[in-house]
Amino acid sequence: MKIVIAGSGEVGSHLAKLLSNEEQDITLVDEDAAKLSILDTNYNLMTVVGNPTSFAALREAGAGRCDLFIAVTPYESNNIVACSIAKNLGAQLTVARIDSYDYMKPDNFRHVRNMGVDKVIYPEYLAAKEIITSLEYSWMRSRFELHDGQIILAGIVLPQNAPIAGMQLKEFAFSNHHFHVSAIRRNHETIIPRGDDRLMPGDILYFTTTREHARDLMELTGQKERKIRRVMIMGGGKLTMRLTNLAEGKFKFKILESDLDECHRLSRRCPGVEIINGDARDVDTLIDSGITDMDAFITLTPSSESNILTCLTARELVDAKTIAEVENIQFIDQAEALDIGLVINKKLLASSAIFQLLLDADSSTSKCLALADAEVAELEVRPGSKITHAPVKDLRLSRDMTLAGLIRDGQGMLITGNTRIQAGDLVLVFSLNGALRQVERLFN
């Protein structure tokens, strides 16, 4: 697939690397020649130096012949203009990153579409949605829904007192037919478990299940339902505003912001939200603001370090769910290791949303989630492919992969050794890095 990316900022370059590794044809357009030359020499892609909103540069990059045009420069107006030019030159699908909800509203989006922008990506919106899901299902680490929730993938930390802690996977599977442990994340490593692997306390278990059984997971893993009502947010930026507006009274928010002018602005923009002028990095301020009554604590300041450290401080004061925004990609692993409930990174969210768009266009394969060293993909079974030849247990599948579940005729179901996969099924596959190619061969 031919893809042109305008803007080599963090999202642009992250996407370019990601897609280039997926063997797509990537052309990157940016004005910063120095930045491009580094990418050009080290990655398998082509670069064009030029203004992303100029006809000349976009023509040179082949925007007229591309299947997907992605505009992710820092300015939304530039992105929209770039998309408009690319669309008029003949790009198949255009995607622009925007910075305000205004362009996304259904009424307004019609006009944006008329300008030649097919899809918009609004990272703050994605982040806000992610935070809300996490607050609603507070006992899960992560949760993904496939096909309108026909199959649910849940990442859950196994506590010490869980009924299934210490159990061998084959014992677990014997008594629980409705769940499939697809992957285990232990000590920064992802394991595709086999029958004799044990479920250890502290592991993050990735369960695949169908919608009706999702709630049973809570009891099974010894997690407690915890209704989250009171939420404290540190930092009053755009994301905070989007979050409080999107949550629409589901939660009771309290915002801590150190800048007074910002506080006044927030009070106008976020009606019904309590705003406190103070620095959350100060423990006394935290206590005075009532941190001890909170069910969740979210840090959304521009400084990743402050966000992580303040979350840690808050955990000492109160047993609440913590969420931190971490924009430095290399800090994410560290933050996760410190057991911060959820780490939000707008760039990764934006790039995975764009990635998803791309996969929707190419419907045979779609990757829904990337763990650090494993991939989860939804693959469509082609008629006559190897995987349909025998029941799963007789297929001698590689140890680096597992088939988690499938969707047949719009209905989600789990896969056992006796399942025979049919052409047309959508199969959810977990595979360790590098094994996905092998897996794809089975399906074609």
| Cα 209 from Cα 362, distance rounded (Å) | 26
Report the residue number, 332 or 404, with the smaller CB distance to other proteins. Answer: 332
Q: Is 34 in the site for other proteins (CB under 8 A)?
A: yes
Alpha helices, DSSP H, located in 22-75: 33-42, 55-60
Q: How far is the CB of 220 from other proteins (least distance, A)?
A: 29
The per-residue b/e assignment along 319-349, b for 16 or more CB within 10 angstroms, e otherwise, is ebbbbbbbbeeebbeebbeeebbbbbbbbbb
| Cα 6 from Cα 354, distance rounded (Å) | 13
User: Which residues, in sequence order, are bridge partners of residue 344?
Assistant: 325
Token representation of residue 61: 């990059």
- Residue of 188, 216, 203 lying closest to 337 (CA atoms): 188
Angle, alpha carbons 268-269-274 (nearest 5°): 75
Q: How far is the CB of 373 from other proteins (least distance, A)?
A: 8
Q: How far is the CB of 345 from other proteins (least distance, A)?
A: 15
What part of residues 355-374 is at the interface with other proteins (CB under 8 A)?
Answer: 373
Q: Is 188 in the site for other proteins (CB under 8 A)?
A: yes
- Region binding other proteins by CB under 8 A among candidate stretches 38-46, 145-153, 235-243, 354-362: 38-46
Q: Is 437 in the site for other proteins (CB under 8 A)?
A: no
Q: How far is the CB of 332 from other proteins (least distance, A)?
A: 9
User: Which residues, in sequence order, are bridge partners of residue 407?
Assistant: 412, 426
Q: How far is the CB of 47 from other proteins (least distance, A)?
A: 8
Report the residue number, 64 or 290, with the smaller CB distance to other proteins. Answer: 64
Residue 120 φ/ψ, nearest 5 degrees:
-120, 150
Q: Is 189 in the site for other proteins (CB under 8 A)?
A: yes
How many residues touch other proteins under the rule CB under 8 A: the total is 23
- Region binding other proteins by CB under 8 A among candidate stretches 23-31, 162-170, 215-223, 359-367: 23-31
What part of residues 294-353 is at the interface with other proteins (CB under 8 A)?
Answer: 330, 333-334
- Region binding other proteins by CB under 8 A among candidate stretches 19-27, 87-95, 215-223, 241-249: 19-27
Q: Is 23 in the site for other proteins (CB under 8 A)?
A: yes
| Cα 357 from Cα 270, distance rounded (Å) | 31
C-alpha pair distances (Å), 427 with each of 49, 302, 334, 437, 443: 42, 39, 33, 15, 9
Residue type, 334: Q
Report the residue number, 3 or 414, with the smaller CB distance to other proteins. Answer: 3
The residue from 31, 49, 113, 132 that contacts other proteins (CB under 8 A) is: 49
Range 107-112, long-range pairs (CB < 8 A, 24+ positions): 112/80
User: Which residues, in sequence order, are bridge partners of residue 252?
Assistant: 230
- Region binding other proteins by CB under 8 A among candidate stretches 37-45, 155-163, 226-234, 386-394: 37-45
The residue from 22, 31, 40, 197 that contacts other proteins (CB under 8 A) is: 40
User: Which residues, in sequence order, are bridge partners of residue 145?
Assistant: 152
Between the two ends of the chain, the Cα-to-Cα distance in Å is 18
| Cα 90 from Cα 59, distance rounded (Å) | 10
Q: How many other C-beta atoms are found inside a 10 Å radius of the C-beta of residue 258?
A: 18
- Region binding other proteins by CB under 8 A among candidate stretches 42-50, 72-80, 86-94, 410-418: 42-50
Q: How far is the CB of 25 from other proteins (least distance, A)?
A: 4
- Region binding other proteins by CB under 8 A among candidate stretches 35-43, 119-127, 310-318, 421-429: 35-43
What part of residues 146-165 is at the interface with other proteins (CB under 8 A)?
Answer: none
Q: Is 45 in the site for other proteins (CB under 8 A)?
A: yes
Binding footprint of other proteins on the chain (CB under 8 A): 2, 20, 23, 25-27, 33-34, 37, 40-46, 49, 188-189, 330, 333-334, 373
